[in-house]
Chain A
Amino acid sequence: MSVAGDTLRITLPRRRPTFAAAAGTFLVLVFAAAAVASPLLHHLAYDIDLIDRLKPPGTPGHLLGTDSLGRDVLARIATGVRISLVVSLAAVTIAMVTGVVVGTTSGFFGGWVDDVIMRITDAVLVIPIVLLAIAVLTVLGPSIVNLIGVIAFIQWTAYARTTRAETLALREQLYVTAAKSFGARPLLLLLRHILPHLAPSVIVLTTLNLSAAIILEASISFLGLGIPPPNPSLGSMLTDAEQYLGTASWLAVYPGLALLLLVLGVNLLGDALRQRLDPTLRSRGG
């Protein structure tokens, strides 16, 4: 990817996809397909059948068995993946928009505005994440909208800080350019000149944040504060499974495995994307 002057041109270097990239793409596609197909499985995932509860995997009609209320585990996993992706994408998008706006404002205008915003982000960053989520969701009550809001709130500061740093660095160059294009308004400068430069790091952050959001949603649902029942969530399916560890272990194994593979797919894909965008850009830990 190259940024020449004030235009953005993305040129991806020609390279054979690595095994990791292929695996990541494959996993993500599989889960995306499952998510898209899940509304077809709505009845299997939601209809309670008390006679058929806790059936083991391999029972006819239930590839991965049924849960404590007789609902099909595979259908619930697919629906859970869909809900998880919707929540994570929404949260990350909100975080990105908010963070970029705040960060660029902070970096661009500097001064006391910058200081105040930075102190606030500092304060938010030191709050233990899970505790913050628990506290806020206890107050607001568990719901999908609140969950998206909480995850977005946790993630926006990373965008803000990164974009602020880059904006600060670019600001100097910009004043020179601005002097040349007489009377250009700040907002226009912002949009045309700064935002394109931010794209690479924002994309990198987004790939990292997406898998973090998926895990965060699962963790919060695991604690009972996330996706409310009867909607399935990979996290809350594990909560239900805890009491059946000795008797119905499939309830714990498969949802967790699905979560693992989903996150793995997103991570691998994200890694590959980061390598492509800028091979010298070290992701955290390389």
Chain B
Amino acid sequence: MHRLDSQWFFWAAVASGLSLLVISATPAAGAPAAPATPSVAAAPPAGTAVVAQPSDATGMDPALSRDVPTRNILRHLYDPLFQRLGSRQVKDANGPDNFKPVLALRWKRVKPATWRFWLRPNVKFSDGGLFTADSVVYNMDRLLGKVAGTPAGLATLNSFSTLAGAKKISRYVVDISTTAPDPLILGRLANFPLVSDHVEASTLASSPDGTGPYRLQTWDRNNQVVLQAKPAYFLGKPKISTVVFRPIPDAGARNAALLAGDADLVTNVAPDSVPQLKSSKNATVKVVNSTREGVFCLDAINNPVLGKVQVRQAINYAVDVNTIIKQVLGGYAVRTATLVPSFFTGYDAAVKPYPYNPTRAKQLLAQAGYANGFTMRMMAPTNFGLDVPQAIAGYLGAVGIKVNIEPMDFPSFVRATQNGHKLDDSCYASLTNPLFDPGPELDTLVRSGSTALSWYANATMDSLLTAANRTVVSKVRNKILARIQNLMHDEATHLFLYNLKNIYGVSKRLNWNPRRDELIYMYDASLKK
């Protein structure tokens, strides 16, 4: 016979249920002592804006964490020397007139490979220390690995592979030099927030210390990051006093948060969700032509079939990119003739995209000796979405090219393509380039040798690329870039696709406009009354 006080068990269950309710009613455990964590249960209180991104910050040290969501958060805590102007379309995206002063007041090239910066005086970091030329030198030294205890590889991580060093000229004047004349150095500096040189660098990852308009109030990992406006900021106190970043990986959940009023700004909205957001009563949609591009690589080196230019051209004729843009991307992309978006420096409008012509594609395949088509593989990192790869495979199948899609997660893709530089015939990826300049991206995609995503080798192309990287005079450089684009088109180095429009869901109570470089900076935003 069972001897059991099931009664005590029952009451124990009730008791634990009640204590559970009590536990969950208290603020999130792990929050450092703070007066009151703003509760984000229903609509955010006045003066607070909530931003929902796909992932959480990975650290509070801007030199170590370079993913877009983290970069967005850290921009509020740290300042760069200057900031790129909004979304104006200019000829030379990295020329000195394209930036507005933040920590640097003016700048001038003093030698072919050296720029001088006059810094803003009397700016303090959160720790109270002063921002001076020493701070800039320290930050540059960190990148070069000269500061003890700093991890290696920071220069590459932050796109500073051309950096030579920094030298203090006087208290508020500093020189920064590159190994060779670099037309993009200003753009690189604009993307690089500076940390305090008065604290131990290893503490920055969890305790940020910058000059930015906000300070970190709490970081409840993978739940929310709460930023509080500083009482005094040299460009004026922010109009929004509290900014909360919430990581919501699922796109549908992000949209739901916006619709329910739990979030004021959500990123990475899928095109199919736009009608629903537009028709809601408390949200709308904002779109911007971003720097993000769809890239379809072809292995012209190891795959003899793809090594033939006619085959590559056939592939370009076979895919109806305009329909993919219209149907799969909801029209939220712009066709590019090569890999250069229209608002990038050196864009050549004379180069036209391949028209959709499956008959021509079959002709070219027959000319190349593949009248019956052939089989090829396609690596498809899942984080870039699988709809477009499948659509492309569908079109290629219609002209006789059978495609076997290999989905994989992004680290596996990196591992496969980087270690040993192997590509399984082709791949689909989307890349972003915050420098508004095709130079670095083309280096990655069409230069021969064991470069990251290039499986194409052409000596002419290589010398053109090198020339473009070293030329600082815009007019000359633009001519070189035009020649590169023509060559890319004729050689059909890739299946040319599009550059994407970023779609943001914005609550009607938020005044905010998107930036082309995908940066979310709430200092420029305000809440409606």
Could you tell me which A residues sit within 8 Å of B by CB distance?
Answer: 47-48, 50-51, 53-54, 68-69, 138, 141-142, 224, 228-230, 242-248
| Residue B164 lies at the interface, judged by CB distance under 8 Å to chain A | no
Given A230-B393, A245-B252: A224 and B272 within 8 A (CB)? Answer: no
Is A228 a contact partner of B406 (Cβ separation < 8 A)?
Answer: yes
Q: List chain B residues, Cβ under 8 A from A243.
A: 251-252, 270, 272-273
Q: List chain A residues, Cβ under 8 A from B407.
A: 142, 224, 228-229
Interface size counted on chain B using CB atoms at 8 A: 27
| Residue B241 lies at the interface, judged by CB distance under 8 Å to chain A | no
| Residue B255 lies at the interface, judged by CB distance under 8 Å to chain A | yes
Is A229 a contact partner of B251 (Cβ separation < 8 A)?
Answer: no
Q: Which of B363-382 contact A (CB under 8 A)?
A: 380, 382
A179 to B272: give the CA distance in the assembly, Å.
75
Q: Which of B109-117, B137-145, B297-305, B321-329 contacts A (4 or more CB under 8 A)?
A: B321-329
A257 to B304: give the CA distance in the assembly, Å.
47
A48 to B403: give the CA distance in the assembly, Å.
13
Given A142-B407, A242-B250, A246-B273: A51 and B327 within 8 A (CB)? Answer: yes
A224 to B405: give the CA distance in the assembly, Å.
14
Is A141 a contact partner of B412 (Cβ separation < 8 A)?
Answer: yes
For this complex, 29 residue pairs linking A to B, each with C-beta atoms less than 8 Å apart, are: A47-B394, A50-B327, A51-B323, A51-B327, A53-B327, A53-B328, A68-B328, A69-B328, A69-B387, A69-B394, A138-B409, A141-B406, A141-B412, A142-B407, A224-B382, A224-B409, A228-B405, A228-B407, A230-B393, A230-B405, A242-B250, A242-B251, A243-B252, A243-B270, A243-B273, A244-B272, A246-B252, A247-B272, A248-B272
| Residue B408 lies at the interface, judged by CB distance under 8 Å to chain A | yes
Q: List chain A residues, Cβ under 8 A from B328.
A: 50, 53, 68-69
In the complex, residue of chain B having the shortest beta-carbon distance to the beta carbon of A229: B386
Number of A-B contacts (CB under 8 A): 64
A237 to B327: give the CA distance in the assembly, Å.
19
| Residue B420 lies at the interface, judged by CB distance under 8 Å to chain A | no
4 further A-B pairs in the complex, CB-CB below 8 A; given A243-B252, A243-B272: A48-B391, A54-B272, A229-B405, A243-B251
| Residue B282 lies at the interface, judged by CB distance under 8 Å to chain A | no
Q: List chain A residues, Cβ under 8 A from B412.
A: 138, 141
Say which residue of A48, A142, A245, A247 sits within 8 Å of B394 (CB atoms).
A48
Q: List chain A residues, Cβ under 8 A from B394.
A: 47-48, 69
Q: List chain B residues, Cβ under 8 A from A48.
A: 390-391, 394
The DSSP consensus for interface residues of chain A is loop
Q: List chain A residues, Cβ under 8 A from B390.
A: 48, 69, 229-230
| Residue B35 lies at the interface, judged by CB distance under 8 Å to chain A | no
| Residue B357 lies at the interface, judged by CB distance under 8 Å to chain A | no
| Residue B30 lies at the interface, judged by CB distance under 8 Å to chain A | no
Is B391 a contact partner of A50 (Cβ separation < 8 A)?
Answer: yes
Q: List chain B residues, Cβ under 8 A from A229.
A: 380, 386, 390, 405, 407
| Residue B276 lies at the interface, judged by CB distance under 8 Å to chain A | yes
Is B255 a contact partner of A246 (Cβ separation < 8 A)?
Answer: yes
In the complex, residue of chain A having the shortest beta-carbon distance to the beta carbon of B403: A230
In the complex, residue of chain B having the shortest beta-carbon distance to the beta carbon of A139: B412
| Residue B149 lies at the interface, judged by CB distance under 8 Å to chain A | no
Q: Kindly list the 5 A-B residue pairs having the minimum CB-CB distance in the complex, ordered from nearest.
A: A48-B394, A50-B327, A246-B276, A243-B251, A245-B252
Residue-wise interface mask of B (263-294) relative to A, using a CB-CB cutoff of 8 A (1 in contact, 0 not): 00000001011011000000000000000000
Given A224-B382, A242-B250, A242-B252: A247 and B275 within 8 A (CB)? Answer: yes
A138 to B415: give the CA distance in the assembly, Å.
12
A47 to B524: give the CA distance in the assembly, Å.
47
Q: List chain B residues, Cβ under 8 A from A244.
A: 252, 272-273
Q: Which interface residue of B255, B328, B386, B405 has the most chain A CB atoms within 10 A?
A: B386
Q: List chain A residues, Cβ under 8 A from B276.
A: 246-247
Residue-wise interface mask of B (391-413) relative to A, using a CB-CB cutoff of 8 A (1 in contact, 0 not): 10110000000000111110010
A164 to B387: give the CA distance in the assembly, Å.
48
CB A244 to nearest CB in B, in angstroms, measures: 6
Given A51-B327, A224-B382: A68 and B272 within 8 A (CB)? Answer: yes
A229 to B407: give the CA distance in the assembly, Å.
7
A140 to B408: give the CA distance in the assembly, Å.
10
Q: List chain A residues, Cβ under 8 A from B382.
A: 224
In the complex, residue of chain B having the shortest beta-carbon distance to the beta carbon of A246: B276
Q: List chain B residues, Cβ under 8 A from A247.
A: 272-273, 275-276
Given A243-B251, A247-B272: A68 and B387 within 8 A (CB)? Answer: yes
CB B263 to nearest CB in A, in angstroms, measures: 15
In the complex, residue of chain A having the shortest beta-carbon distance to the beta carbon of B270: A243
